[in-house]
DNA sequence: CATTCACCTGACAACGTTGTCCAGGGCCTA
DNA sequence: TAGGCCCTGGACAACGTTGTCAGGTGAATG
């Protein structure tokens, strides 16, 4: 924030305060407060005078001061990975709706999958004294949150569990979903199936890999090292990983994509292939139906809503042990599973 | 917000204040403030004592109090239509990045295209004394914002201009983009082209329709009434509109879709057709390349960034007349323009 | 007519922080 | 050694609101 050197800032537009309203209406400060808050015990006549003064001056209550006095901010903080990711938009929106129903506002921040930035955001929110926090963790150690939670900041983790502390978490069934998706490929006759997932430090990535391995094992299939690739979801890396497992000595005939970003790039890679390769992806993506992509769908809005409801239950005083809620995923089978070449190509 | 009846709240976890830190460190209140804010004029030894006390107590500065004292909140409010829409995610994210660079946090709210809700959100943000506002307007009358702007709340409108007040606006070239898109269809030999857009009270919708009409006129083509449909972007309505213009006495051979939601539904409708129908859509959508959909792309991130930069320039004291910035759109031609049938169908 | 009571109203303190201003101590210089 | 200056530290008020409490008025009751 640019720091101006001036000390007495010229106060751009001075805002009227309750004091100003009181003076103009010829009443006491507290009476204005009562009118503004709709408290009982004000004569209609007095109320009218105050209301007129408010309108005349364009007064609007300063919630900063109110917050300071009352201790509650009626706001919650949401830290997620990247608001631009289509998975997080609906999640954020769902949380906002629940917050709105509880009269709270939502502050959100993107961690960009960086643990330091996550912590920075979380602590900034705490400094603002948000009533509660919903966190999609980037880091693996949340002990830094312990004093805040002890101080009364309700906290719920979403999509991935907290690290090193005991806290509420609302998750999707990554293991089960991946297992089901891979089993689907097996059922369609595939024997050599590749797995491309996110970075191994991310809980969902390893869980989905676990699901993949479980499904393969259950089918009595060996997994070659070359078939598994965990790492960044940058398009170049995904492309390289996919091409590697498609061209090795034991080329895969199907790929399981660990999340929506991987799926998108994988679709592009596979669309250019001569021999069709099947694809199943974790997370539904727009227009996947038209491309015939089978997916393991997790409803990010439900994830968000569930977490937010849990948060507000805590804020309403419900005091139970932290729990882990796991929401089921849905396999949506579409088309043959092979990606057609792009039209006009 | 659930109101607890208790008056003296038991103060869940009592948070230590600077006073507590001062007492523990055996220094004055202001000295703690100095250390916390990294101000000069504190002996290393004193600073160490204070820092130790801070760590021991788990103190974190209460920014609510700070805000009250300083007058600036280092936060900005963003009101958009729906965070779950893939167009707004990147826009919000871009604004967040700019805000972050300026040390500010972002509060956002979705108006759900409802003018009352927009106003409610905006005024709630003002009550929190956000330093600035970025608004994607739902309503058509923003005179209610005048006192706030006069009181110093910097305001920038995005995607659509403000109604009835003079304020900064950052827009995409809806007219030019639509004209170019329709001209593209004309160039490919289409003569009967339909237009499906959003509700007529939305500025971008009417601008795009204007662009469509301009392109048709420039090509010397008449526009039949049945070829134009403005209204809600609900899938059912778009589907009905598309089917109507495809089956009338003068069926269209191409459709221009007014925004991303229309495009998505239109793609689905057209994918099921026997005779291929061309489609050009406003807004790029994920995987449009694989489906060969030509689009008029507007970069929502740039839109957001431009607006945020303008906002912070104002907050830094730059005082110029409100202006309207129009960003160009890009036509991305893909494939033949015809939608292929879904695979496996 | 005195007393009680309900109801309205306002003075005051407090929330936790920061800006202002002054006091005291150490050090340098004349 | 005295004077002055700089540097550090702290007392105090103020930001705008709300909770507490007491005063004051008028009506109802004995």
Q: Is the pLDDT of residue A51 over 80?
A: yes
Please indicate whether, in this complex, the C-beta atoms of A342 and B271 are within 8 angstroms of each other. no
Q: How far apart are CA B248 and CA B225, in angstroms?
A: 11
Residues of A with CB below 8 A from B267's CB? 287, 290
The single-letter DSSP state of residue B145 is G
Residues of B with CB below 8 A from A14's CB? 151
CA of B44 to C1' of D5 (A): 22
Q: Confirm or reject contact between A182 and chain B (CB < 8 A).
A: no
pLDDT, tens digit, for every residue of A2-19? 333 333 333 345 899 999
A41: left (phi over 0), alpha (psi -120 to 50) or beta: left
pLDDT tens, position by position, for chain B (345 residues)? Answer: 333 333 333 334 589 999 999 999 999 999 999 999 999 889 999 999 999 999 999 999 999 999 999 999 999 999 999 999 999 999 999 999 999 999 999 999 999 999 999 999 999 999 999 999 999 999 999 999 999 999 999 999 999 999 999 999 999 999 999 999 999 999 999 999 999 999 999 999 999 999 999 999 999 999 999 999 999 999 999 999 999 999 989 999 999 999 999 999 999 999 978 888 999 999 999 999 988 899 999 999 999 999 999 999 999 989 999 999 999 999 999 965 555 555 543
Residue B253: predicted pLDDT: 96
Residues of B with CB below 8 A from A89's CB? 83-86, 88-89
B36 CB closer than 7 A to any strand C atom:
yes
Q: Is A131 helix (H, G, I), strand (E, B) or coil?
A: coil
Q: Which residues on neighbouring strands pair with residue A327, listed in sequence order?
A: A172
Q: Is A194 helix (H, G, I), strand (E, B) or coil?
A: strand
**Nucleotides of strand D within 7 Å of the protein's CB atoms:** 7-20
Q: Is the pLDDT of residue A338 over 80?
A: no
**Residues with Cβ within 8 Å of residue A94, at least 6 apart in sequence:** A300, A301, A302, A303, A304, A305, A308, B84
Residues of B with CB below 8 A from A4's CB? 317
pLDDT, tens digit, for every residue of B97-138? 999 999 999 999 999 999 999 999 999 999 999 999 999 999
- Which residue in chain B is spatially nearest to A56 when comparing CA positions? B147
Round the CA-based radius of gyration of chain A to a whole number and report it.
27
Residue B12: predicted pLDDT: 45
- Quick one: which of A129, A131, A83 has its CA closest to A108? A83
Q: Could you tell me the CA-to-CA distances from B178 to B206, B229, B255 in Å, in that order?
A: 11, 15, 12
Please indicate whether, in this complex, the C-beta atoms of B1 and A72 are within 8 angstroms of each other. yes
pLDDT, tens digit, for every residue of A96-144? 999 999 999 999 999 999 999 999 999 999 999 999 999 999 999 999 9
CA of B315 to C1' of D5 (A): 40
> For the whole model, what pTM was predicted?
0.93
Report angle CA B142, B147, B149 to the nearest 5 degrees: 75
Q: Confirm or reject contact between B65 and chain A (CB < 8 A).
A: yes
Residue A342: predicted pLDDT: 52
| Min Cα separation B279/chain A (Å) | 13
Q: Is the pLDDT of residue A285 over 90?
A: yes
Mean pLDDT score across all residues of chain A = 92
B37 CB closer than 7 A to any strand C atom:
yes
Who wins on pLDDT, B9 or A166?
A166
């Amino acid at each position: 924030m640019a720091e101006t050197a001036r000390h007495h800032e010229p106060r751009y537009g001075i805002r009227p305060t309750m004091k100003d309203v009181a003076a103009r209406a010829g009443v006491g400060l507290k009476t204005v407060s009562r009118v503004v808050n709709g408290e009982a015990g004000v004569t209609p006549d007095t109320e009218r005078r105050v209301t007129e003064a408010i309108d005349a001056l364009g007064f609007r209550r300063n919630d900063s001061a109110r917050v300071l006095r009352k201790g509650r901010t009626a706001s919650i903080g949401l830290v997620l990975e990247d608001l631009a990711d289509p998975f997080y938009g609906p999640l954020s929106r769902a949380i906002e709706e629940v917050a709105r129903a509880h009269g709270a506002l939502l502050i959100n921040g993107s961690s960009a999958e960086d643990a330091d930035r996550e912590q920075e955001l979380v602590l900034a929110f705490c400094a603002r004294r948000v009533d509660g926090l919903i966190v999609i963790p980037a880091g693996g150690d949340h002990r830094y949150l312990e004093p805040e939670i002890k101080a009364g900041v309700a906290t719920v983790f979403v999509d991935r569990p907290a690290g090193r502390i005991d806290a509420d978490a609302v998750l999707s069934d990554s293991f089960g979903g991946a297992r089901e998706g891979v089993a689907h490929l097996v059922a369609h006759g595939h024997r050599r199936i590749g797995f491309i997932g996110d970075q191994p430090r991310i809980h969902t990535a390893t869980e989905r890999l676990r699901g993949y391995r479980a499904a393969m094992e259950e089918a009595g299939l060996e997994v070659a090292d070359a078939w598994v690739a965990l790492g960044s979801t940058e398009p170049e890396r995904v492309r390289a990983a996919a091409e590697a497992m498609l061209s090795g000595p034991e080329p895969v005939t199907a790929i399981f994509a660990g999340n929506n970003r991987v799926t998108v790039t994988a679709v592009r890679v596979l669309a250019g292939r001569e021999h069709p390769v099947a694809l199943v992806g974790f997370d539904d993506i727009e227009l996947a139906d038209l491309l015939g992509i089978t997916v393991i769908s997790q409803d990010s809005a439900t994830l968000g809503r569930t977490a937010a409801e849990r948060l507000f239950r805590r804020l309403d005083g419900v005091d139970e042990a932290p729990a882990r809620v796991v929401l089921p995923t849905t396999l949506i089978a579409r088309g043959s599973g092979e990606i057609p070449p792009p039209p006009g190509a």
